[in-house]
């Protein structure tokens, strides 16, 4: 009987540790674990780790008292549990090392040969006379690249699953942030701010455990050839790709991301989306706008590119589409200042986070 109790206890501890590691890494989303589970576990991570550590201590006590398992087997089991602890908090940041504080920028000439022909999409951030260009190919592994402009710290964040770049001020009211990859829910990236103990959903840019939201600034989506012609003096972000795992990650996600962006392919990488809003093909790469007052609009890319000068109202704001038939910007019609949009965001994911969104198509 003691042997049965001990083995059941050991199996329960191992199963719990493995499940928690799965929950906090990509396999968890393959199993469609609820978003609240991921955020709830992260918010109480140390409590769960302490409880599992005490349970491990109890297993050691029973092993000594009842003479179960030899020390080598118990040591291996203990190492396994601590590996799951590491995976829960460090696996994602290790695989995807954000560059909020150490991003490197290069001239157009230096960057030209580093932009692959198969992925020419870039995101442009204009701040007065200073322009920075972020190639999608280079931002997809680190997910975050930072810089300073006029004493304010900024970062671009990118989610490959959502195909979404968002640019923010990194101090959002809690002091200096340190943004690292926590994981993803509903095919969209979640960051953990390790300095301030909160998490931020990239699509909404809302802190999960506080009332704070980063200030989002505009970026413009275009192709590399267009960008380098328009901004010959721009600074271009390049990721070094100098780790062995970088190549493995790019190879691993290359075909799944091609499928994710395929209008004819109904499936998303992770089966965590309701996909009940059929006003557009869920793979459509929209231009989305959230006015910060609970009102949003999703603009079909064909409509945006073919209706230069079109004006419409959203809440109390009048907005204007500016397009040359390819590059699209959304402006405040009164100030003629560009407003931040969710550029290229898949509609099926947008609808998951903004189910009451209006649609323009």
Tell me, yes or no, whether 51 and 139 share the same domain: no
Beta bridge partners of 193: 179, 198
The answer to whether residue 275 sits within a structural domain is no
Tell me, yes or no, whether 215 and 256 share the same domain: yes
Q: Report pLDDT for 42.
A: 96
Ramachandran region, residue 173 (left: φ > 0; alpha: ψ -120 to 50; beta: rest):
left
Q: What is the pLDDT of residues 36-47, one digit of tens each?
A: 999 999 999 999
Q: Which two tokens stand for residue 13?
A: 């501890």
Domain carrying residue 237: 104-260
As a whole number of Å, the CA-based R_g of the chain is: 23
Tell me, yes or no, whether 235 and 89 share the same domain: no
Last residue of a domain, one of 245, 260, 275: 260
The answer to whether residue 310 sits within a structural domain is yes
Any idea what DSSP says for residue 221? E
Considering only CA atoms, which of 176, 177, 200 is closest in space to residue 189?
200
Q: Which two tokens stand for residue 327?
A: 């590059």
Tell me, yes or no, whether 14 and 45 share the same domain: yes
Tell me, yes or no, whether 189 and 238 share the same domain: yes
Q: Would you write out the chain's pLDDT as a tens digit for each of its 361 residues?
A: 899 999 999 999 999 999 999 999 999 999 999 999 999 999 999 999 999 999 999 999 999 999 999 999 999 999 999 999 999 999 999 999 999 999 999 999 999 999 999 999 999 999 999 999 999 999 999 999 999 999 999 999 999 999 999 999 999 999 999 999 999 999 999 999 999 999 999 999 999 999 999 999 999 999 999 999 999 999 999 999 999 999 999 999 999 999 999 999 989 999 999 999 999 999 999 999 999 999 999 999 999 999 999 999 999 999 999 999 999 999 999 999 999 999 999 999 999 999 999 999 9
Last residue of a domain, one of 95, 126, 141: 95
Tell me, yes or no, whether 109 and 228 share the same domain: yes
Tell me, yes or no, whether 246 and 112 share the same domain: yes
Q: CA dihedral defined by 111, 117, 118, 123, rounded to 10 degrees?
A: 40
The answer to whether residue 280 sits within a structural domain is no
Beta bridge partners of 338: 331
Domain count, the chain: 3
Tell me, yes or no, whether 226 and 321 share the same domain: no
Tell me, yes or no, whether 139 and 202 share the same domain: yes
Cα–Cα separations (whole angstroms), residue 226 to 22, 200, 231: 42, 32, 9
The answer to whether residue 273 sits within a structural domain is no
Q: Which two tokens stand for residue 197?
A: 């103990």
Q: What is the DSSP string of 295-315?
A: -EEEE-HHHHHH-TT-EEEET
Cα–Cα dist 361/359, whole Å: 6
Considering only CA atoms, which of 340, 304, 332 is closest in space to residue 316?
332
Angle of helix 2-23 versus helix 35-43 axis, rounded to 10: 100
Considering only CA atoms, which of 139, 138, 141 is closest in space to residue 155?
139
The answer to whether residue 266 sits within a structural domain is no
The answer to whether residue 267 sits within a structural domain is no
The answer to whether residue 255 sits within a structural domain is yes
Tell me, yes or no, whether 85 and 164 share the same domain: no
Last residue of a domain, one of 198, 227, 260: 260
Tell me, yes or no, whether 90 and 112 share the same domain: no
Tell me, yes or no, whether 228 and 334 share the same domain: no
The answer to whether residue 294 sits within a structural domain is yes
């Amino acid at each position: 009987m003691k042997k049965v109790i001990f083995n059941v206890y050991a199996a329960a501890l191992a199963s719990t540790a493995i499940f928690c590691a799965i929950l906090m890494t990509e396999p968890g989303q393959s199993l469609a674990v609820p978003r609240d589970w991921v955020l709830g576990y992260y918010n109480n991570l140390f409590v769960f780790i302490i409880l599992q550590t005490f349970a491990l201590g109890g297993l050691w006590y029973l092993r000594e008292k009842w003479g179960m398992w030899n020390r080598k087997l118990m040591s291996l089991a203990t190492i396994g549990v601590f590996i799951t602890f590491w995976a829960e908090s460090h696996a994602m940041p290790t695989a995807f090392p954000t560059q909020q504080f150490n991003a490197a920028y290069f001239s157009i000439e230096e960057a030209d040969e580093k932009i692959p022909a198969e992925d020419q999409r870039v995101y442009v951030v204009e701040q007065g006379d200073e322009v920075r260009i972020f190639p999608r190919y280079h931002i997809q592994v680190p997910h975050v690249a930072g810089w300073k402009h006029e004493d304010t710290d900024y970062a671009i964040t990118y989610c490959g699953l959502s195909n979404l770049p968002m640019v923010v001020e990194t101090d959002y009211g809690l002091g200096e942030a340190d943004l690292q990859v926590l994981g993803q829910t509903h095919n969209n990236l979640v960051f953990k701010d390790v300095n301030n103990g909160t998490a931020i959903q990239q699509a909404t840019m809302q802190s999960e455990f506080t009332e704070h939201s980063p200030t989002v600034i505009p970026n413009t989506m275009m192709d590399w050839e267009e960008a380098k012609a328009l901004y010959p003096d721009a600074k271009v972000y390049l990721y070094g790709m100098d780790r062995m795992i970088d190549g493995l990650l790019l190879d691993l996600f290359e075909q799944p991301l091609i499928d994710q962006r395929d209008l004819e392919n109904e499936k998303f990488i992770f089966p965590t989306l309701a996909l009940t809003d059929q006003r557009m093909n869920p793979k459509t790469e929209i231009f989305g706008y959230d006015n910060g007052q609970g009102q949003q609009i999703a603009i079909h890319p064909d409509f945006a590119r073919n209706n230069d000068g079109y004006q419409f109202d959203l809440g109390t704001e009048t907005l204007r589409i500016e397009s040359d038939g390819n590059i699209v910007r959304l402006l405040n019609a009164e100030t003629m200042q560009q407003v931040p949009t969710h550029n290229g965001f898949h509609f099926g994911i947008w609808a998951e986070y903004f189910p009451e969104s209006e649609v323009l198509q």
